[in-house]
């Protein structure tokens, strides 16, 4: 039996593999110009993150960077910016029909990646991994970094 594999490196490798699957699927559908951060932003907006601040928190980048990303996605007609009912200073983000198509393509790629993963480790094990990751992700970080840390994929 070899040395124990580093969990952080394994998770990063799995994340990179999933992002590559998303990007390959998008490229096949004619969206090869989208960056990984733009694609993940579409997923996050589709998952309910509907303000620049929420996206910045989830992505670990500045609101200025998210605003630029959203500007590109708006120009690409993947998101809309609507007035925010509770805060007149901010805009609520929502996917357009084309944005929902992009999200659906990525979710399909994610589903296929999960099927392949389940073929390797079994459905029960994959659900255990999912539950463990969800629990860890939901637990507050006892020592958050002084500045957002961003992991770049591709």
CB-based contact 70:93 (threshold 8 Å): yes
What gap in Å lies between CA 95 and CA 43, rounded to an integer?
9
- Specify whether the CB–CB gap between 92 and 84 falls below 8 A: yes
Helix (H) or strand (E) holding 82: strand 79-83
87-123 core/surface letters (b: 16 or more CB in 10 A; e: else): eeeebebebeeebeebbebbeebeeebeeebeeeeee
The pTM is what? 0.82
pLDDT in tens, the chain (154 residues): 468 889 989 998 998 998 899 999 999 999 999 999 999 999 999 999 999 999 998 888 889 999 999 999 999 999 999 877 777 777 899 999 999 999 999 999 999 999 999 999 999 999 999 999 999 988 987 876 666 556 665 5
Q: What's the distance, CA 77 to chain centroid?
A: 19
Q: For residue 150, what pLDDT is reported?
A: 61
Q: Where are the alpha helices (DSSP H) in 76-121?
A: 97-121
pLDDT for 154 equals: 52
Q: Do residues 114 and 126 make contact, with C-beta atoms less than 8 angstroms apart?
A: yes
* Structural domains of the chain ordered from first start: 11-137 (1.10.10.10)
Looking at residue 58, its pLDDT comes to 87
pLDDT for 1 equals: 46
Matching residue, tokens 């629990």: 135
């Amino acid at each position: 039996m070899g040395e124990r594999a580093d969990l952080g490196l394994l998770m990063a490798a799995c994340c990179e593999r999933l992002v590559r699957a998303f990007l390959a699927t998008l490229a096949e559908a004619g969206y090869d110009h989208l960056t990984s951060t733009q694609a993940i932003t579409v997923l996050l907006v589709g998952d309910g993150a509907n303000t620049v601040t929420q996206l910045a928190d989830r992505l670990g980048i500045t609101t200025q960077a998210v605003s630029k990303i959203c500007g590109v996605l708006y120009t690409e007609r993947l998101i809309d910016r609507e007035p925010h009912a509770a805060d007149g200073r901010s805009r609520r983000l929502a996917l357009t029909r084309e944005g929902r198509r992009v999200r659906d393509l990525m979710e399909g790629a994610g589903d296929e990646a999960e099927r392949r993963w389940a073929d390797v480790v079994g459905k029960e094990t994959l659900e255990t991994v999912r539950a463990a990751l969800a629990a860890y992700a939901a637990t507050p970080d006892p020592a958050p970094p002084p500045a957002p840390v961003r992991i770049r994929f591709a």
